[in-house]
């Protein structure tokens, strides 16, 4: 009788433990993104402010790179002539933002709306028609469809990410990302 009771308690405890693991909600996302706020390509981390939730308010932070026009200026003293040249140069980006994820609690399909800023390591003229206004900062908005399994696994993101360039002009952009939810 004692052995049966002990076996029953062990099975019940194991079942409870497995059920708790199945109910674990994966709210953290690591992903690589082409386009979007990282400009050309970026690696990002996304999480919710509530650690036990996968929907609601959250943030993203990443590191990426891009290529843009950098202005160089040379002065020829003999003729008193100023020569300005624009060259393409690679630079690093640091996209950061706040977002809100909408969706049903038990569905892998969600929608993200967000806004933020991207710091550029070089003062470049990015997305501008007027190359005379280089800067270190661009703004961005995100409207992304996300497939993220509730209990963790591989994820996919695609959407519209308009960027506010260094001269203040709005440039329509898209982004696609692949990652892992944990």
What is the reported pLDDT for 44? Answer: 97
- Evaluated on CA atoms 123, 128, 132, 137, the torsion sign reads negative
What is the reported pLDDT for 103? Answer: 93
- Evaluated on CA atoms 19, 25, 28, 31, the torsion sign reads positive
In order of start, what are the domains of the chain with their CATH numbers?
26-181 (2.40.160.20)
Direct distance between the N- and C-terminal alpha carbons of the chain, in angstroms, rounded to an integer: 43
What is the reported pLDDT for 71? Answer: 64
| Per-residue pLDDT of the chain in tens (182 residues, 90 and over written 9) | 566 555 555 565 555 554 445 556 778 999 999 999 998 999 999 999 987 788 999 999 999 998 877 666 665 656 666 666 667 778 899 999 999 999 998 899 999 999 999 998 877 766 655 555 667 888 999 999 999 998 889 999 999 999 988 777 888 999 999 999 98
What is the reported pLDDT for 133? Answer: 66
Cα distance between residue 135 and residue 169, in whole Å? 13
Cα distance between residue 131 and residue 123, in whole Å? 11
What is the reported pLDDT for 25? Answer: 73
H or E element in which residue 5 lies:
helix 2-22
Name the pTM for this structure. 0.76
Q: How far is CA 129 from CA 55, 70, 171, in A?
A: 38, 14, 11
Sequence-ordered list of residues with C-beta below 8 angstroms from that of 40, at least 6 positions apart, any chain: 34, 64, 65, 66, 67
Q: How far is CA 79 from CA 43, 76, 83, in A?
A: 49, 6, 11
């Amino acid at each position: 009788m004692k052995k049966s009771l002990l076996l029953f308690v062990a099975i019940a405890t194991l079942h409870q433990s497995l059920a708790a693991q199945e109910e674990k909600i994966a709210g953290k996302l690591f992903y690589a993104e082409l386009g979007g706020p990282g400009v050309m390509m970026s690696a990002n981390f996304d999480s919710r402010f509530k650690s036990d939730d996968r929907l609601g308010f959250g943030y993203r932070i990443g590191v990426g790179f891009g290529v843009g026009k950098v202005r160089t200026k040379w002065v020829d003293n003999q003729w008193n002539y100023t020569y300005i040249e624009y060259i393409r140069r690679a630079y690093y980006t640091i996209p950061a933002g706040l977002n809100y994820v909408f969706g049903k609690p038990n569905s892998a399909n969600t929608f993200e709306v967000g806004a933020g800023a991207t710091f550029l390591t070089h003062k470049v003229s990015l997305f501008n028609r007027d190359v005379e206004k280089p800067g270190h900062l661009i703004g961005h908005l995100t409207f992304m469809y996300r497939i993220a399994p509730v209990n963790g696994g591989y994820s996919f993101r695609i959407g519209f990410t308009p960027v506010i360039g260094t001269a203040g002009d709005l440039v329509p952009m898209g982004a696609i990302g692949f990652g892992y939810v944990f």
